[in-house]
Amino acid sequence: MNTLSKNRLFQRNEFWLLCLLIVLSLTVGAVNGAFWSANNLFSLFKSTIVTGIFALGVFLVIVSGGIDISFPAFAVFSFYITVKFLLSIKYTGTILLPFLMSMTFGACLGLVNALLLSSFQLAPLIVTLGTGSAVTGFLRAFVGTATLSNLPQPLIDFSRWNIYKKTLADGSIVSFSGAFLILLVLAILIHVMMKRTTLGRGIYAIGGDEVAAKRVGFNVKRLRLFVYSFTGALAGIAGIIHCSLIRLANPRDLEGAEMEVIAAVVLGGASLTGGKGSVAGTLLGVALIVLIKGSLILVGVPSDWQKVVIGLVLITATGLTAWRSRRSDEGGRA
Amino acid sequence: MSKTLIKLTDIDKSFGAASVLRKVSLQLDEGEIHCLAGENGSGKSTLIKIISGVYRHDAGRIELGGRHYPTLRPIDAIREGVQVIYQDFSLFPNLTVAENLALSDQVESGRAWVSWQRVEAIARESLALIGVDMDTSRLVEELPVSGKQLVAIARAVYCNARVIIMDEPTTTLTDREIASLFALIRRLKERGIATLFVSHKMREMLDITERITILRNGEKVAEGRTEDFDEAGITRAMTGRDIRSDRYVWNGVRSDPVLELRDFTRTGDFQGLNLSLYKGEIVGITGLLGSGRTELAETLFGLRNTRERPGGEKNSGKILRNGREIKVRSVSDAIAEGIAYVPEDRLTEGIFAEQPIERNLFANSYPRFKNALGLLDRAKLRELSSALIRAYNVVASNLKLPIRTLSGGNQQKVMLARWISTGAEVLLLNGPTVGVDVGARFEIYRKLREIAAGGVGILLFSDELQELISNCNRIFVINRGRFTHELDTGALQEDELSALLGLSLEEAIQ
Ligand SMILES: Nc1ncnc2c1ncn2[C@@H]1O[C@H](COP(=O)(O)OP(=O)(O)OP(=O)(O)O)[C@@H](O)[C@H]1O
Ligand SMILES: [Mg+2]
């Protein structure tokens, strides 16, 4: 038993991810010293915010045994309508309303996913593929295709919110975006929920075995409703933050973001068959993807290669997980 | 006089037009160990599902704990202390043992927060209730079948079980594990917990139960105290006829073996095995768990070679087919060399649960059904599948239905028919009658002899001694990866063989 717990650390996905992250950082740093500049590091952190919040949502869905590829569409829908509405009323109040609005739109769309899933017993991949596409189409056909660059003042103020800011000797400015705190708070919240509440354990349970979960007394349908709406809400939040940080509301934004986010979550140790994964792993997965994307240029890899590298990393990571679980299977048999 | 926990009177049940149970009655008292026996498809599992509220009965009376339930819901059954150990155990593979044990309490108590100390305490307490010690921090998916079963039982007992119902709990266990399961059932009895279980193994029925209820074709044909039954009586009640088993006699000549092993070794699994299998022989290979029995079978079929671990496990020695040395590196090698294998765990390895019975029958022999155009010859396929279904006595109403609608034993027969019908010259069978009823067993034995008579050499890997003695002409005993004995079955008695195996069930229980 003792050796078991000693081995546990090395069996943990998080441990290996952390090692990989460190090795990768050291390598990139060795090739190009600019990697360690505050400017680069802060901008890497900034890039994790939106991907990270998306990933937390996808993590929940994947743990519950489902999948969601509609979230980028939901995010765009939510922030675009929110911005358009706020502009039309010339809103100047606090940042709270934009957030709440975008989050609510996202949650409602997520709810639609869950209702479709449970009432027609369809595969989540198909349902979310459908709703994602429908929502995108609806947005462009009925709401607008114009990119809005004159965001309401509260969103502009939000993008300027920094928890650290300094003007360097050469006149350049380094700053650490305050929005990162939102990612942190959400991550802690979800971590506690998943580890410490019956709700969270229920999400793991339905991902492990839905029938067994039903027999134990979980309300599987209600858990699903929660998971998909929560993921939708997170998409709404990520959306509005994204739009604020880039100071643009572009209805064609975030196309293809799902691939990167799902890659991060799977890399973080969540199993696509459900029931496995952790918030810490998810964040590490996000960090890894962001690091790879942000550093390839620093080490001289053309940006077209980013997708190739991310694809390879994804295949390698899932391949490794599958290989490890097959090995432990054999151990159990022997 | 002990209390009656379950009283079923004149239960009827049909699925659509098919009547599955007719006027079945059953009574179970406190602390009673009761066996439900019957041929495959006789309605045992259906009856269990009615007791646990999963299926609604069409007519008859259900009383649990003295209360009459006109319509019994699963929750009612649970409140009355009826706990079913499902064949898949209904556990969460991704969660730890501790959490699996504590989860239903967590949900039922309506707590919003999880206290991991409490989870651990509940887990310890549940395991203590059944007198078992295990590492509660392991994931359930890492446990062997017997471990999962223990977790499921501990969970049931913790949920105030008064009756534990198990549908064929021993089919996937080894002898030793079965013995400790029975020891556990007896401990539960002392606490007043009754056990109702389904089994196809005579030994188990006679050894451990106090009462037996026998179903045939959806009707109760016999019920009584176990002392009043013997093997022949049970068989007669189940099948409605007498089945006599005669021993298999081989009259062939010992020349030109179809399969030969010379110093066959796979480090860590088995060493220096020598064996010649002649045309028409049925040779048994038996040994305890971990003796190398299954490992040998899997290696011969190319299942193990592909998974060589870096530890340096290697095959050495030779395999000869008709005197020619062959290499079996993969399953396709084995099939190409005319070797077929019926795996031990047929219900999880290679069954396509949602696919029609017909497709399951031919999953590995489609290439044989090409017509002149190279397309599937459907007419031939249909004809052959009906013939196979008849030959193996599969009780099925329609071959187009998914195989999961068949009773467990009938699924087993379909799998067996599939593998045997590939037309191989060497047939490896691993536990071919697990979960198959007596009647059907004899059909299978008859079939095997027929195949052997056609010139096929059969290796029968099994731990059912009676099965080996009456169907093999020779038996090899394997122990720690070596053949320790080669026996002619001519006058071999079961207790001799069991002594050689170093195990008797009785002994292990005590
Ligand atoms: N859901 C269902 N729909 C239609 N027929 C069913 C269904 N479940 C069972 N049956 C039929 O009812 C009969 C009894 O099945 P049951 O599973 O109770 O048999 P069993 O006695 O448990 O057999 P075994 O020993 O093979 O497990 C079988 O003929 C089976 O095909
Ligand atoms: Mg059954």
Q: Tell me whether A196 touches chain B (CB under 8 Å).
A: yes
Q: What is the mean pLDDT of chain A?
A: 89
A331 falls in which pLDDT band (50, 70, 90)? very low
- Asked if pLDDT for residue A199 goes beyond 60, the answer is yes
Number of neighbours of residue A302 by Cβ within 10 angstroms: 8
Q: Tell me whether A202 touches chain B (CB under 8 Å).
A: yes
The 8 Å CB, 24+ separation contacts for A92-95 are A92/A152, A92/A153, A92/A154, A93/A154, A94/A154, A95/A154, A95/A155, A95/A157, A95/A158
- Asked if pLDDT for residue A328 goes beyond 90, the answer is no
The pLDDT of residue A330 is: 46
Spatial separation of the C-alpha atoms in residues A331 and A325, rounded to whole Å? 10
In this complex, which of B93, B143, B307 lies closest to A208 when CB atoms are compared? Answer: B93
* Distance in Å, CA B218 to ligand 1 centroid: 10
Amino acid at B205: M
**In this complex, do B103 and A201 lie within 8 Å of one another by their Cβ atoms?**
yes
Give residue limits of the domains in chain B.
259-508
Q: Tell me whether B95 touches chain A (CB under 8 Å).
A: yes
Tokens of A27: 């390598």
Q: Which residues of B are less than 8 Å from A270 in CB distance?
A: none
- Asked if pLDDT for residue A333 goes beyond 50, the answer is no
Residue B47 CA, closest ligand 1 atom number: 18
* Distance in Å, CA A65 to ligand 1 centroid: 30
**In this complex, do A212 and B114 lie within 8 Å of one another by their Cβ atoms?**
no
Query: Which candidate, B403, B380, B402, B383, places its Cα nearest to that of B391?
Result: B383
Residue B404 CB less than 6 A away from ligand 1: no
In this complex, which of A4, A208, A328 lies closest to B94 when CB atoms are compared? Answer: A208
The pLDDT of residue A8 is: 62
Query: Which candidate, A328, A223, A322, A300, places its Cα nearest to that of A31?
Result: A300
Number of neighbours of residue A23 by Cβ within 10 angstroms: 10
Q: Can you give the C-alpha Rg of chain A in angstroms?
A: 21
Give strand pairing partners of B21: B13
Find, in chain B, the residue whose alpha carbon is nearest to that of A211: B90
**In this complex, do B103 and A215 lie within 8 Å of one another by their Cβ atoms?**
no
**In this complex, do A199 and B112 lie within 8 Å of one another by their Cβ atoms?**
yes
The pLDDT of residue A6 is: 39
Q: Which residues of B are less than 8 Å from A211 in CB distance?
A: 90
Number of neighbours of residue A76 by Cβ within 10 angstroms: 27
Spatial separation of the C-alpha atoms in residues B434 and B144, rounded to whole Å? 18
Walk along chain B (510 residues) and give the pLDDT tens digit of each residue: 578 999 999 999 998 888 999 999 999 999 999 999 998 889 999 999 999 998 999 999 999 999 999 999 888 898 899 999 987 788 999 999 999 999 989 998 889 999 999 999 999 999 998 888 899 999 999 888 889 999 999 999 998 899 999 988 887 777 778 888 999 999 999 999 999 999 888 778 888 899 999 999 899 999 999 999 888 888 888 887 766 667 888 888 888 899 999 999 888 788 889 999 999 999 999 987 778 888 899 889 888 764 455 555 567 888 999 999 988 888 888 888 889 888 776 666 667 777 888 777 776 666 666 666 767 777 777 777 787 778 777 777 777 878 877 877 787 778 778 777 777 889 999 888 877 788 778 888 888 888 888 889 999 998 888 889 989 999 999 988 889 889 888 888 887 887 887 653 444 444
Q: Which residues of A are less than 8 Å from B293 in CB distance?
A: none
Number of neighbours of residue B122 by Cβ within 10 angstroms: 22
Residue B405 CB less than 6 A away from ligand 1: yes
Do the interacting molecules here have an ipTM over 0.95? no
Amino acid at B300: L
Q: Can you give the C-alpha Rg of chain B in angstroms?
A: 24
**Residue B254 · residue B247 · CB < 8 Å:** no
- Asked if pLDDT for residue A62 goes beyond 50, the answer is yes
- B35-44 CB burial, b ≥16 within 10 A, e <16: bbbbbbbbbb
Residue B211 CB less than 6 A away from ligand 1: no
pLDDT, tens digit, for every residue of A219-249? 999 999 999 999 999 999 999 999 999 999 9
User: Which residue is closest in CA terms to ligand 1's atom 19?
Assistant: B41
Q: What CATH number was assigned to the domain covering residues B259-508? A: 3.40.50.300
**In this complex, do B91 and A209 lie within 8 Å of one another by their Cβ atoms?**
yes
The pLDDT of residue B1 is: 53
Render A10-72 in DSSP notation, one character per residue: HH-HHHHHHHHHHHHHHHHHHH-GGGGSHHHHHHHHHHHHHHHHHHHHHHHHHHTT-----HH
Let me know if A104 is exposed, middle or buried by CB neighbors in 10 A (0-12, 13-18, 19+).
middle
Q: Which residues of A are less than 8 Å from B99 in CB distance?
A: 201
**In this complex, do A208 and B112 lie within 8 Å of one another by their Cβ atoms?**
no
The pLDDT of residue B389 is: 79
Q: Tell me whether B114 touches chain A (CB under 8 Å).
A: yes
Q: A132: part of which helix (H) or strand (E)? A: helix A124-138
Measure A57 CA to nearest chain B CA, in Å.
Answer: 20
